[in-house]
Amino acid sequence: MTSAARRCPARDARRRLAGLAVVSADGLIVVDKPGGMTSHDVVARIRRLARTRRVGHGGTLDPMATGVLVIGVGRATRLLTYVIGAGKSYTATIRLGQATVTDDAEGEVVRTTPAGRVTDDAIRGALAALTGEIDQVPSAVSAIKVNGQRAYKRVREGASVDLPARRVTVSRLDLLAVRRDEPDVVDVDVDVTCSSGTYIRAIARDAGLALGVGGHLTALRRTAVGGFTLAEAATLAELEERAPEVVTLPLAAAADRFFPRRDASAAEATVLSHGGPLDPAGIAGPYAVFDPAGGLIAIVSERDGRARAEIVLAPA
């Protein structure tokens, strides 16, 4: 019997189907990022699972940090600029008594000061002073660019980096626990809700400075980005199991969750999908506009008496 005669048509068909480039749908994925990975590492993993290079993330998490990382796939990558600007929540542990070059546990300890005598009331006072609208100097080891180069890269090359303070809002900084498991350090667990651009490492650093003993971050877990929380986050292992269908919030559903909604008529949908303006609806923007079938057309804001698209998302 020849090799051709031994071929199984059904098996050959399955092999041909397996070779097709099935690509995940457009949408968002709420990932529970593990420690030890950069945000870019997670994006690279999702690119492989979703079988597309059109993947991005909505707000960097340091390798040490875990928790909510919003990933955009396909056309949903265009929503990420709004996700990046959303408020965020964290649980964190601040260690008082040690300062590090990076303001977290990944950096070398540069100063130690016994913190055993720092009282709980003093800790509460230091945290209270870092709540509300504050001018915060970002950590020198950050992704902020200085003369075209990331600050963290300049620090690692031995350069001194002075970053200007930025106005941020820490709307909640709750003290969860004070632990005195070692004689010269104090570990402080906190729950934080803050504006985009707030550095939790800087809160740890500044609390330690205020108390005169130094401080750095030893644990950080992001619990929410905007309305996206850990309750709906998937692990990378879970996403591996259902690849390439890894999107958890299709594009229209994601926009409906994140933005105020406006439903357009068929005529309005046609105008807007071609970049034309609509009459204003009096909705505080940006907001999402949907066609009569429920499809997402655009993200819109109102100005100068017209509703104009910031980005058009309807398929070309």
Catalytic residues: 62
Residue 266 CA: distances (Å) to CA of 21, 112, 270 = 34, 67, 6
CB 301 within 8 A of CB 310: yes
CA 110/CA 154 separation, integer angstroms: 18
For residue 38, give Cα distances in angstroms to 33, 43, 51, 230, 279: 9, 9, 20, 18, 44
Q: Which residue, among 70, 83, 69, has the nearest Cα to 34 in the 3D structure?
A: 69
Residue 153 belongs to what H/E stretch? helix 151-156
Q: What six digits make up the tokens of 151?
A: 């600050």
Spatial distance between the Cα atoms of 190 and 181, rounded to a whole number of angstroms? 17
Task: Choose among 93, 98, 91, 138: nearest CA to 118.
Answer: 98
- Check: CB of residue 162 under 8 Å from CB of residue 154: no
In this structure, the number of other CB atoms found within 10 A of the CB of residue 66 comes to 21
- Name the amino acid, one letter, at 186: V
Q: Which residue, chain included where needed, has tokens 């660019």?
A: 145
- To which residue do tokens 């199991």 refer? 241
Residue 76: how many other CB atoms lie within 10 Å: 29
Alpha-carbon gap, residue 133 to 195, rounded angstroms: 10
